[in-house]
Amino acid sequence: FLSMKLDKQLIQDHNKKLHDKHQSGFSFIADRLTTEGHDVERILAKIAALQIAIPSWALGTGGTRFSRFSGGGEPGSLEEKIADVGLLHAINRSSGAISLHIPWDIPKDAKAIKSLAKEYDLVFDAVNSNTFQDQADQELSYKYGSLSHSDKAVRKLAIEHNVDVIKHGELLGSKALTVWLADGTCFPGQQNFRKAFQRTLESLKEIYTALPDDWQMFIEYKPYEPYFYSTVIQDWGTSHLLASKLGKKAYCLVDLGHHLPNTNIEQIVATLMMEGKLGGFHFNDSKYGDDDLTVGSIKPYQLFLIFNELVYGMEDPASINPPPAWMIDASHNVKDPLEDLLQSVEAIKLAYTQALLVNKEELEAARENNDATQAQEILQHAYRTDVRPLIAEARRRAGAALHPITLFRNLNVRKQLIQERGLKTVSTGL
Ligand code: PSV
Ligand code: MN
Ligand code: MN
């Protein structure tokens, strides 16, 4: 099944069945938007262009520190992971990139892996380093930190690993390195904050030197976990400080789950874009912490407000921010990972499309007049528009499925994957 790739005819058959229902829904929204002065074709082109990278570590069932309930048919090799992302991309034509975590997914033969990905029409997004775990044969430990460690020899090991990750990425055609530094402490007094920051900066400078000119470095922040008292790169301010000190190839990476409850993430996005320092995004959703749930499952309005700032930043002709890299960073404990990813991509596209509908001129006028009521009307008019037929239409035109989850289920994909790969499978990741 997977070696055959998804037969395009299956998608056509699926679309044929849903055609009439889709067409009436699409005409309805297209007419309404046209009446409101929107250029529907322009919106469809934008929706089609948005590609979201799938993390290689999110294709299997995730777990917590308490348990992991393994799912069947999970990809056991990088080749199988590529096949899974290829399948998602064939179904939605919006997941045309894969983001690798190294050493969880070391390509043994980069050339072969690159050409396999090409067969599925996939490219390699940012490569991620891992200095939050000790590897089996590792002589020095990251228990007390990596890039920030008090021991120079440990820092050197972590720096070399990051440089090595860049080299792997170069062979695959990646153009960015994401550094998420778990380093931190569990107890007050355990660490000199200033020294830890300085050492991290020095280590990052060495990695930055090894970064090719056409690459970017994304610095991901997170307030807590795995350590529970302090984290060296705890927030966007720290990430921004490091990125500015490093230089123009260094940027901040916003992971939606990496904020303390009720943080105004859309305001962070606005500030970073204003400064030209928003490099990338890890999408997920959460109720409490870094829950890594399906995008849009808990706080869809917040996601829309974030996209409202992203669209504003991207469409601003004076913007100095490069186009951000879009990635999902999620974990699936109870859902089929592939269904969950299809839902996440859909949620991102929904929020993006709704943000495209915001009447920017009217919103600015309301703001200038301090008309809070009207500002809310304008935002929620866009947010409450059912844009699903637009996304489906963009997919249909790209040769993808009108309703991805329905197709996935009707094709019995999981059953076939279990037949191919077995019922008891474990995929690398957290
Ligand atoms: C850390 O919580 C994180 O968000 C980083 O992006 C890691 O690379 C990823 O999760 C690992 O699952
Ligand atoms: Mn992340
Ligand atoms: Mn995370």
Q: Would residue 2 count as lying in a domain?
A: no
**Structural domains in the chain (count):** 1
| Residue 1 covered by a domain | no
Residue 26, pLDDT above cutoff 80: yes
Residue 223: asked if its preceding bond is cis (omega within 30°), the reply is no
Which of 68, 220, 252, 291 has the most ligand 1 atoms within 8 A of CB, as the residue to mutate?
A: 220
* Rg (the chain; Cα; Å): 22
Among 38, 33, 93, CA closest to 349 = 93
E strand or H helix that includes residue 129: strand 123-129
Checking if the pLDDT of 46 tops 80, the result is yes
Query: Which amino acid, one-letter code, is at 142?
Result: Y
Q: What is the mean pLDDT of the chain?
A: 96
DSSP string for 235-274: SHHHHHHHHHHH-TTEEEEEETTSS-TT--HHHHHHHHHH
CB 103 within 8 A of CB 130: yes
Examine residue 94 and state whether it is found in any structural domain, yes or no.
yes
CATH of the domain at 294: 3.20.20.150
The per-residue pLDDT for range 209-220, each reduced to its tens digit, is 999 999 999 999
CA-proximal residue: ligand 1, atom 2 (nearest): 290
Residues with CB under 6 A from ligand 1: 57, 128, 180, 220, 222, 255, 282, 290, 329, 430
pTM for the whole thing? 0.97
What average pLDDT does this structure show over 112-133?
Answer: 97
The Cα–Cα gap between 240 and 237 comes to 5
Q: Quick one: pLDDT band at residue 70, thresholds 50, 70, 90?
A: confident
% of the chain surpassing 70 pLDDT:
98
Q: Give the number of other CB atoms < 10 A from CB of residue 50.
A: 15
Q: What is the pLDDT of residue 189?
A: 98
Residues 235 and 262: beta-carbon distance below 8 Å:
no
Say how far apart CA 310 and CA 319 lie, in whole Å. 11
Tell me how far the alpha carbon of residue 188 lies from the centroid of ligand 3, in angstroms: 23
Q: Whose CA is nearest to atom 12 of ligand 1?
A: 430
Name the residue at shortest CA distance from atom 8 of ligand 1.
180
The arithmetic mean of pLDDT across residues 366-371, rounded, is 98
Residue 429 lies inside a defined structural domain of this protein = no
Of the pLDDT bands very low, low, confident and very high (cuts 50, 70, 90), residue 426 is: confident
Cβ(426)–Cβ(104) below 8 Å: no
Distance CA 123, CA 66 (A): 35
Confidence of residue 430 (pLDDT cuts 50, 70, 90): low
State mean pLDDT over 78-104.
97
Binned at pLDDT 50, 70 and 90, residue 385 comes out as very high
What's the CA gap between 388 and 86, in Å, rounded? 23
Helix or strand run (H / E) with residue 165: helix 152-172
Quick check: is 21 in a domain? yes
Q: Cα of 369 to ligand 3 centre, how many Å? A: 40
Q: Whose CA is nearest to atom 5 of ligand 1?
A: 180
CB distance 237 to 185 below 8 Å: no
Instruction: State the distance from the centre of ligand 1 to the C-alpha of 180, rounded, in angstroms.
Output: 7
**Cis before 317? omega within 30:** no
- Summarize the confidence of residues 254-274 as an average pLDDT: 98
- Residue of 165, 9, 35 lying closest to 101 (CA atoms): 165
Over residues 385-390, the mean pLDDT reads 98
In this predicted structure, what is the pLDDT of residue 3? 42
- Closest atom, ligand 1, to C-alpha of 430: 12
Summarised one tens digit per residue, pLDDT across range 306-351 is: 999 999 999 999 999 999 999 999 999 999 999 999 999 999 999 9
Q: What is the DSSP string of 80-96?
A: HHHHHHHHHHHHHS---
Structure tokens at 282: 């890890």
Q: In DSSP terms, which residues pair with 129 in a beta bridge?
A: 102
pLDDT bin (cut points 50, 70, 90) of residue 178 is: very high
CA distances to 72, 291, 336, 405 from 333, in Å = 13, 10, 8, 18
In a domain, 382, yes or no: yes
Cα 309 to ligand 2 centroid, rounded to whole Å: 20
Residue 16 lies in a domain: yes
> How much is the pLDDT for 2?
54
Q: What is the pLDDT of residue 425?
A: 79
Report the C-alpha gap between 278 and 93 in whole angstroms: 25
Closest atom, ligand 1, to C-alpha of 58: 12
ipTM passes above 0.95:
yes
Gap between the Cα atoms of 340 and 295, Å rounded: 9
CA 226 to chain centre: 20
For 141, how many CA atoms within 13 A lie in the half-sphere containing its CB?
2
What the block records as the tokens of 134 is 């000790």
Q: What is the mean pLDDT of residues 103-118?
A: 97
Mean pLDDT to the nearest integer, 388-412: 98
- By C-alpha distance, which of 137, 131, 228 is closest to 182? 131
Token digits for 420? 């191919």
Cα 127 to the center of its chain, rounded Å:
12
Secondary structure of residue 172 in the 3-state scheme: helix
Domain-embedded: residue 24: yes
What is the three-class DSSP state of 173? Answer: coil
Q: What average pLDDT does this structure show over 107-114?
A: 97
Helix (H, G, I), strand (E, B) or coil at 30: helix
State the helix-helix crossing angle for 8-35 and 388-397, rounded to 10 degrees. Answer: 130
Domain housing 380: 8-421
Closest residue by Cα to atom 10, ligand 1, is: 329
In the reported structure, the alpha carbon of residue 281 is separated from the centroid of ligand 2 by a whole-number distance in angstroms of: 8
Mean pLDDT of 113-135: 97
Hunting for tokens 């927030």 — which residue is that? 235
